[in-house]
Amino acid sequence: MEAAHAHDHAHGHAEHAHHPGGIMRWVMTTNHKDIGTLYLVFSLTMFFVGGVLALMLRAELFQPGLQLWRPDFFNELTTMHGLIMVFGAIMPAFVGFANWQIPMMIGALDMAFARMNNWSFWLLPPAAILLVVSFFVPGGATAAGWTIYAPLSTQMGPGMDLAIFALHIMGASSIMGSINIITTILNMRAPGMTLMKMPLFVWTWLITAYLLIAVMPVLAGAITMILTDRHFGTHFFNPAGGGDPVMFQHIFWFFGHPEVYIMILPAFGIVSQIVPTFARKPLFGYSSMVYATASIAILSFIVWAHHMFTVGMPAAAQLFFMYATMLIAVPTGVKVFNWVATMWKGALTFETPMLWACGFIFVFSMGGFTGLVLAITPVDIQLQDTYYVVAHFHYVLVAGSLFAIYGGAYYWLPKWSGRMYDETLGKWHFWLSMIFFNITFFPMHFSGLAGMPRRIPDYALQFADFNMISTIGAFGFGLAQLLFLVVLFKLRSGPKAADKSWEGAEGLEWTLPSPAPYHSFETPPVVK
């Protein structure tokens, strides 16, 4: 991103003259900021790839009837849109933030394992290439949904194998990233930076990293079993050989549910940094925020089967998973209340990062509310695998994770690049995204309630109006994202950012010059 270039110029060459220049600088880098930039650029690229797939499938859904794609290609689009957005866009974006911010926020020099850091990033591009190339192998990409349920996934062509390899590689990358983050946070904090003084973003990432280490191997196990079922004659999920297709779902969601918190907890962290800054007031209920994050993480391990209420579990199991799922509303509610209380009686201003954060609180909460509706087993059985669920998880993943990522990017871009972004453009980017997001996804609640299943290329006539609105919204949303590229492009010529870029900003990163020096804290600061 521009960030890295800008700081390259700003810093002269004396202090890192021993680094190779040009492309090799990026290939060989062990610097947390360079690697953070690589992660963020990678994630933005994959976000646009996944976005194009989304627009392709929305285009087919503009009207009833099959116009553009064959049904099997439509299924490839939905599957790859999901896989690319989850594993290629959202997760790497948060790791990018972690790389840039964690050392600066805890007063460390760099990440703990610098070389492993390089490796965990450079695993991602080959994985992404495998995913994208799978469209061009015989039979096309996997069309079994991002959930790759067996036995449908064992029917797929070689595209499925490529996706399995890609997931393995991305999983390895995530695990290495997590080990690095945990080690950095636990060992490299500045003197006086006790755990309960850490910025909330660091806390949320510490917990997220543990979640990743716990569940990525579970996913690896599930997809390996698919692979051996496909090619080596095992029958883990093949009922004809004594296997159990439902077991796949249990294993997958034991990974999958913590996974959704992996994608939202760092977003909570970012929002918890932004809101106090622009309220000019300390975060309300810091310790309860930490405890709430930890409770959400722990609960995430005992709710997985709420994704499977329709497989026909015994009543006792349905009730257990319903109660456990409902419980998650309590810590999540605490977080929202704390953010509102932080804003209460502050001196609020609404620069772009704060707009994204407020947008996040508002729209993410709507996703939380529909989550509560879906937690109720009988209602879920009616709504499972409908567009209501599609609306729900886009409210938490787009309006949740993505809005927080944008908020964080606008918030820290001045620190990363040493330049202020164009505030007007930033506000346009936010408002257009917010409006088109709702035009796209709000009608999906209605089509879901009325009975439209998800993952279908064609639909009955009563869903036509809502689908047309959604498609128009989707194209508006997609185009609005191009504004972010303009913002990044104009960053070079933006005004110089102050070291403390925001009036109300607190934290060690703001004590560093803007742009931040190549090595964050050569001598550890002392935190009182």
> Is the Cβ of residue 247 or residue 472 nearer to another protein in the bound state?
247
CB of 95 to another protein, least distance (A): 30
Please identify which of the residues 37, 153, 204, 332 carries the catalytic annotation.
332
- Give yes or no for residue 500 binding another protein (CB under 8 A): no
DSSP-assigned states of every residue in 32-61: HHHHHHHHHHHHHHHHHHHHHHHHHHHHHT
* Interaction residues for another protein, span 277-306 (CB under 8 A): 279-288
Token readout for 160 is 């499925």
Cβ 396 to another protein shortest distance, Å: 15
- Choose, from 110, 351, 380, 422, the residue flagged as catalytic: 110
Within positions 221 to 240, which residues make up the interface with another protein, using CB under 8 A? 239-240
Count of CB atoms situated within 10 Å of the CB of 308: 19
Give the pair of three-digit tokens for residue 282. 């300390």
Dist. CA 56–CA 69, nearest whole Å: 9
Please say which residue, 3 or 396, places its beta carbon nearer to another protein. 396
Stretch that binds another protein, among 12-20, 94-102, 424-432, 448-456 (CB under 8 A): 448-456
d(Cα 228, Cα 455) in Å, to the nearest integer? 27
Active site residue 433: no
Residue 81 is among the residues annotated as catalytic for this protein = yes
Q: How far is the CB of 305 from another protein (least distance, A)?
A: 13
Closest to another protein by CB, 114 or 326: 326
Instruction: List own/partner pairs for 315-319 with CB under 8 A and 24 or more apart.
Output: 318/377, 319/377
Chain residues 450-469 in contact with another protein, contact rule CB under 8 A: 450-451, 453, 455-462, 465
372 binds another protein (CB under 8 A): yes
- Residues 266/409, Cβ–Cβ less than 8 Å: no
335 an active-site residue? yes
Give the phi and the psi of residue 419 in degrees, each rounded to 5.
Answer: -125, 145
Q: Which of residues 148-167 bind another protein (CB under 8 A)?
A: 149, 151-152, 155, 157
The question of whether 259 is a catalytic residue gets the answer: yes
Tell me if residue 189 is catalytic. no
Q: Is position 261 annotated as part of the catalytic site?
A: yes
10-18, 90-98, 379-387, 477-485 -> range binding another protein (CB under 8 A): 379-387
Binding mask 105-144 for another protein (x = CB under 8 A): ---------------------------------xx---xx
378 is an interface residue for another protein by CB under 8 A: yes
Cα 277–Cα 279–Cα 284 angle in degrees, nearest 5: 90
Q: Of 1, 226, 358, 404, which one interacts with another protein (CB under 8 A)?
A: 358
Q: What burial class does residue 212 get, using C-beta atoms within 10 Å of its C-beta: 0-12 exposed, 13-18 middle, 19+ buried?
A: buried
Distances in whole angstroms, Cα of residue 94 to Cα of each of 178, 264, 287, 516: 11, 9, 23, 19
Which x/- pattern over 63-92 shows residues binding another protein (rule: CB under 8 A)? -xxxx--xxx--x-----------------
Separation of alpha carbons 41 and 447, rounded Å: 35
Per-position DSSP letters for 366-388, written without gaps between them: HHHHHHHHHHSHHHHHHHTTBHH
| Contact by Cβ (8 Å): 216, 259 | no
By CB under 8 A, residue 245 contacts another protein: yes
Active centre residues (catalytic) = 81, 110, 146, 173-174, 257, 259, 261, 272, 306-307, 332, 335, 454
